[in-house]
A and B are shown apart, each in its own frame.
Chain A
Amino acid sequence: MPLILTEEQTMLKEAADGFLSENAPISALRKLRDSRDADGLSRDLWKAFGEMGFAGVIIPEEHGGSGLGAVEAGIVAEGLGRTLTPSPYFGSSILAARVLIDAASAEQQAAWLPKIAAGDAIVSLALDEGPKHQPNRIATTAERSGNGFKLNGAKGFVLDGHIADALIVAAKTDGGVTLFLVDPKTSGVEIERTVMVDAHNAARVTLTDVQVDADAVIGDVDAGEAALEGALNLGRACAAACLTGAGDQAFATTVEYLKTRKQFGKLIGEFQALQHRAAHLFTELELAKAATLGALQRLDAGAPKADLAVSVAKAKAGRVAELAVQEAVQMHGGVGMTDEFDVGLYMKRVRVLNELLGDAGFHAEKLARAGGY
């Protein structure tokens, strides 16, 4: 498959980028942040996002979605990276939707997928427990109790957890991990919003003797890891796309600055010390873009080692975006350190995206293990 977008995909990209830059530019993020918005995102915007078909990009048409694939999901994510728009896209439209599409019962799907697609409901995945992403080390427990289960444990970094209409909780059962669909209003569920450095949403969720019915189980008992796999792969690939978008935008801003700021009677872009770094960054970004598109296409093709391609993309895009934002602040000099300039916002967002679903070290480790070394 050629590593370029098809005509339809290009149209989607134009639509998504156009919509975002018009309706949700960086000023929208600043407004939410500075007004300390209780939701941390715009409900109206999210609704409009649903109408445009972006919120349900991967949700099948029979559930009101666009029924598209990973490449299309990545295109939207990249757009969100460029504009830094806070939205429930990752948590709800990607992670939760993928779990529900792949593993949920017909009733569960009918109850949630159309609402997610329409931007009417937010569903969040509660997976991570420690400060680092370690999906294989889940300590939250689900014990059989009554006609269902009793959940105990604590989750962190739950995207949009404080405004979630439903949570998908991963918990340890006798023979593995099981996923549960939990109403956040159930007694014993405590949710604390954690305002993040990038002014995007996350929450801590504590579960104390939370009683759920047997029909809260998503898929089969003990089969949660398999049900999560697709969601994690797609989430990581979309995070790579978002990182690429953010890195690329920070780079574009920097190049613009190199062409306008004068010191020593010259444009600073005339200094070779900066030229070579800009050229290097361009090169790295091209690699990140290729790695990301490659991973998204492999996911769509169901390629055998798609997950490893995803790890390459997440690690590469993460490192490159990190370099891009560091260079952006540095090459802006003093203004780069000011809140008024946008480059700092990119630096913060990239830091969070890097931590989300495994940082570059996590993915390098995964590759090494898969490679048998």
Chain B
Amino acid sequence: MTVESTAPRKPRRSSGTKRTSARRTPQQQSSEPQLVQLLTPEGERVEHPEYEIDLTPEELRGLYRDMVLTRRFDAEATSLQRQGELGLWASLLGQEAAQIGSGRALHDDDYVFPTYREHGVAWVRGVDPTNLLGMFRGVNHGGWDPGTNNFHLYTIVIGSQTLHAVGYAMGVAKDGADSAVIAYFGDGASSQGDVAESFTFAAVYNAPVVFFCQNNQWAISEPTEKQMRVPLYQRAQGYGFPGVRVDGNDVLACLAVTRSALERARRGEGPMLVEAFTYRMGAHTTSDDPTKYRADEETESWRAKDPILRLRRLLEREGHADEAYFTGLEEESEALGKRVREAVRAMPDPDRLAIFDHVYADGSALVDEERAQFAAYQASFADSADSAEGGK
């Protein structure tokens, strides 16, 4: 096998679970860079010498459901933006396998540091999807308590969160805890100094962190050639930890590789870089126009590798799901869409004095003074107006 990977061999797990399908080996030949793949675009299981996975039919259906519901949520958010209910939306369309696969590899006590696009990871962490929409609607800058689901707030400044993840992981190690930390970032973000510094710190302090880069081929209009000249996962080697490229549209491979990387971190063997090779099928955000820089043929060729379709083919091929299952899931999707739509439309604007909330944990005389002045100013409208228009 010539799969390029600087990853260590995973210790064999003794598995009592019955394997769910026959595997083909070796990997299918393709013109793409070599990557870890366990499920072909045609939905066939393949072997990989270093990464194994045994999933029950129920677990496979679970991954499928996660991806379908995440995509439905994402589509709903996109249309809510079009309807003016959200100011902006960053769609994950095409990246469901990378997010669900890596997300389902996490333990409850692991900690996640996302970018602004990790809606699928949020889903598997149990963050209510409607919570993700507040910042895109413009009613808050976060909207959930990171401690509840060990899922940090979205970070818009690219790359910053990788350092936070490493610091958190350093803390985990100091505490002697056996949990791990995962930091998500994009191919474009990999150019930021913060990301390079996070690699350095992680290596030097042997931090239990997995760097999970979703290489979706684009950073707004800039293709990966404008960010790097060697495959991204190889960068890890220069810092002294392993890196591996995984088929980011293959949920099984993303799960297996991330699980292995997290286990390694938990065993105290330090950081690892996982590059999920995937594709951003939609626009960068709803403000972006990819026709300015991207060829339709490219998008079409990736559409053929759709992560959801691929798993569906496996489920059908192996007879793990029948028509009733798919219909039921379709209904569940519709219900989710409806719930999200209604929740967003009902989401109130914050009180105007909320501007002054939480500026300091200890409070601030200056903030109090400005709040009082602003409140008095607002009240002056309510007094002078016939209606209560100016107040709130």
A interacts with B:
no
